[in-house]
């Protein structure tokens, strides 16, 4: 096992920023009151929660009362999609989405389809984009459209402002899973005409177990749980004060440092792509580098080798990457995202996702490029998938 450690799985989770950690530590100790209690210790917690709500609202140009705290992006997606259906979405109206959404969007929609709701899932091209003309046509029949801001596996950034404009004109409620873009891309829910947005703190250097749902005033949903009156009765349960406080601080920092972080990640992304593409029979999934994709994302495939085998070898060199979404890491099935953009199962299984973060530097990506050449070469020498053996 190498003593050098290079973490390139930031799309799965990021390290907590030290400034965030400093902010939340008191809420594990001396500031431990239940934020729903009326005594001074409880009020102290609620004041901190409200300040975090204001920071988050400001970061995306929303109103504080439009922010609903949850435990994760997955919960936010489920709360919005199922909650909207429960609030009275007519079953004859479509729920509209596209093929490469996160499972936290696709699975709730599939559940609603089994209950009799009509759904429409748009096909995508090799870069992960659907036909906008088809979307506009279907949006006119949809009660709800859920389109992610950027894809978690291949980095495709969708034209959210244009999509929001179409939905607003058609009278369709527009939700976006922005788990991969909050804190990384500029988001203005008013200008982008977003009605609902999901996010998760641990994707932008905040703590795990904290997320939020932006819900535009006037959009009606029903909660999925019964209990107390927290979060407008839409998300009952004791407040995760330390998580919420950390999320507010993390997003405040991320938005201030966004431009510098993106420029740094773009340079690393370009360097890593150059080195990986020096390997024979390799390719990049999603949009071209430097175009409509996340600056921290690089999804690359390597013919004749298995992704899981590459990960094990890389781990020996202290390198952390992934074969796709961490939420599906226990599944041996090929990624639905990679299959959705037209890759054959064998090629999908030969893909790795490298996701950069602010703790990385150019030396890290050079090291990864060097070790990847070695890993792929070694595995191809022993692989039954190599040329002439299996087509």
Q: How far apart are CA 23 and CA 17, in angstroms?
A: 10
How many helices (DSSP H) and strands (DSSP E) are in the chain? Answer: 11, 12
Residue 202 DSSP symbol: G
Q: What is the pLDDT of residue 117?
A: 92
Contact 211, 198 (CB under 8 A): yes
388 within domain boundaries: no
One domain, residues 22 and 139: yes
Mean pLDDT of 266-270: 97
389: in domain: no
What pLDDT, on the 0 to 100 scale, is given for residue 196?
98
Residue at a domain's end among 232, 253, 274 = 253
- By residue range, what is the domain housing residue 208? 18-253
Answer with the one of 253, 278, 296 that is the final residue of a domain: 253
Sort strands 211-215 and 196-200 into parallel, antiparallel or unpaired. antiparallel
Whole-angstrom distance, CA of residue 211 vs CA of residue 153: 20
Report, as an integer, the average pLDDT of 247-262.
98
Q: Look at residues 349, 327, 322 and name the one whose alpha carbon lies nearest to residue 338.
A: 349
Asked if pLDDT for residue 7 goes beyond 50, the answer is yes
Q: Is 10 found in the same domain as 37?
A: no
Same domain, 116 and 241: yes
Whether residue 78 is contained in a domain is answered as yes
CB proximity list for 52: less than 8 A, separation 6 or greater: 244, 245, 247, 248, 249
Within a domain: residue 1?
A: no
Amino acid 327: pLDDT: 54
Same domain, yes or no, for 10 and 92? no
| Span 369-373, average pLDDT | 98
Comparing C-alpha atoms, which of 278, 292, 276, 280 is closest to residue 353? 276
Could you tell me what percentage of the chain is helix, strand and coil, using 3-state DSSP and rounding each to the nearest 5? 40, 15, 40
28 shares a domain with 100: yes
131 shares a domain with 98 = yes
Q: What is the mean pLDDT of the chain?
A: 94
Dump pLDDT digits (tens) for 297-335: 999 999 999 999 999 999 999 999 999 655 545 556 899
CA distances from 19 to 179, 205, 206, 251 (A): 21, 10, 10, 12
Q: Are 142 and 193 in the same domain?
A: yes
Show which residues are catalytic: 327
**What is the pLDDT, as a whole number, of residue 386?**
65
Assign residue 40 the CATH number of its domain. Answer: 3.40.640.10
23-81 pLDDT, tens digit per residue, is 999 999 999 999 888 898 889 999 999 999 999 999 999 999 999 999 999 999 999 99
Q: Same structural domain for residues 233 and 279?
A: no
Last residue of a domain, one of 197, 220, 253: 253
Residues 6 or more apart whose Cβ sits within 8 Å of residue 21: 246
* pLDDT tens sequence across 75-97: 999 999 999 999 987 766 799 99
Look up the CATH number of the domain holding residue 332.
Answer: 3.90.1150.10
Separation of alpha carbons 241 and 230, rounded Å = 12
Q: What is the DSSP code (8-state) at residue 277?
A: T
Q: How many residues does the chain have?
A: 391
pTM summary value: 0.94
Q: Crossing angle of helices 362-382/241-276, nearest 10°?
A: 60
> Whose CA is closest to 98, among 142, 130, 138, 73?
130
- Percent of the chain past pLDDT 90, that is, above it, reads 88
Report d(CA 143, CA 89) in Å as an integer: 7
**First vs last Cα of the chain: how many Å apart?**
34
Residues 288 and 343 in one domain: yes
Long-range contacts of 329-336 (CB under 8 A, 24+ apart): 335/153, 336/99, 336/100, 336/103, 336/106
Whether residues 49 and 173 share a domain: the answer is: yes
Claim to verify: residue 169 and residue 208 sit in the same structural domain: yes
- Does residue 387 lie within any of the structural domains? no
Structural domain contains residue 248: yes
Of the candidates 346, 347, 255, 231, the one whose C-alpha atom is nearest the C-alpha of residue 299 is 347
Whether residue 317 lies inside any domain: the answer is yes
Say if 390 falls within a structural domain.
Answer: no
Q: What is the pLDDT of residues 132-177, one digit of tens each?
A: 999 999 999 999 999 999 999 999 999 999 999 999 999 999 999 9
The answer to whether the beta carbons of residues 182 and 204 sit under 8 Å apart is: yes
Identify the weakest region by mean pLDDT among 208-217, 271-280, 323-332. 323-332
Per the structure, how many domains does the chain have? 2
Q: Which helix (H) or strand (E) holds 273?
A: helix 241-276
Look at 162-176, 218-232, 262-276 and tell me which has the smallest mean pLDDT.
218-232
Higher pLDDT, 211 or 324: 211
Give yes or no: residues 335 and 192 share one domain: no
Confidence (pLDDT) at 390: 35
């Amino acid at each position: 096992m190498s003593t050098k450690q290079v973490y390139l799985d930031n799309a799965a989770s990021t390290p907590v920023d030290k400034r965030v950690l400093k902010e939340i530590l008191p809420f594990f100790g001396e500031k431990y009151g239940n934020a729903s209690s009326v005594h001074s210790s409880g009020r102290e917690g609620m004041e901190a929660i409200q300040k975090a709500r204001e920071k988050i609202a400001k970061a995306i140009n929303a109103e504080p009362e439009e922010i609903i705290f949850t435990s994760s992006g997955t919960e936010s997606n489920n709360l919005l999609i199922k909650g909207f259906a429960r609030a009275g979405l007519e079953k004859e109206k479509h729920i509209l989405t596209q093929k490469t959404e996160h499972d936290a969007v696709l699975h709730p929609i599939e559940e609603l389809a089994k209950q009799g709701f009509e759904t429409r899932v748009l096909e995508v091209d090799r870069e992960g984009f659907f036909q906008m003309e088809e979307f506009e046509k279907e949006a006119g029949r949809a009660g709800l459209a859920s389109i992610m801001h950027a894809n978690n596996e291949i980095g495709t950034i969708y034209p959210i402002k244009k999509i929001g404009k179409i939905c607003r004109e058609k009278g369709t409620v527009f939700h976006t899973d922005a788990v991969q873009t909050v804190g990384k891309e500029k988001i203005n829910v008013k200008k982008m005409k977003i009605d609902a947005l999901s996010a998760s703190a641990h994707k932008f250097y905040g703590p795990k177990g904290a997320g939020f749902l932006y819900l535009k005033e006037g959009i009606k949903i029903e909660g999925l749980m019964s209990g107390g009156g927290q979060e407008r009765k839409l998300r009952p349960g004791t407040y995760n004060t330390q998580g919420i406080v950390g999320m507010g601080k993390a997003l405040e920092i991320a938005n201030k440092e966004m431009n510098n972080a993106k420029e740094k990640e773009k340079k690393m992304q370009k360097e890593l792509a150059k080195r990986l593409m020096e390997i024979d029979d390799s390719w990049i999934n999603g949009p071209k580098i430097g175009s409509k994709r996340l600056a921290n994302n690089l999804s690359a495939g390597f013919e004749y080798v298995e992704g899981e085998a590459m990960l094990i070898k890389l781990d020996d060199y202290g390198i952390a990457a992934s074969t796709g979404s961490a939420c599906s890491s226990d599944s041996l099935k090929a990624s639905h995202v990679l299959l959705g953009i037209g890759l054959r199962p064998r090629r999908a299984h030969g893909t790795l996702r490298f996701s950069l973060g602010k703790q990385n530097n150019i030396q890290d990506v050079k090291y990864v490029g060097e070790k990847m050449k070695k890993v792929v070469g070694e595995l191809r020498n022993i692989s039954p998938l190599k040329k002439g053996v299996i087509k």
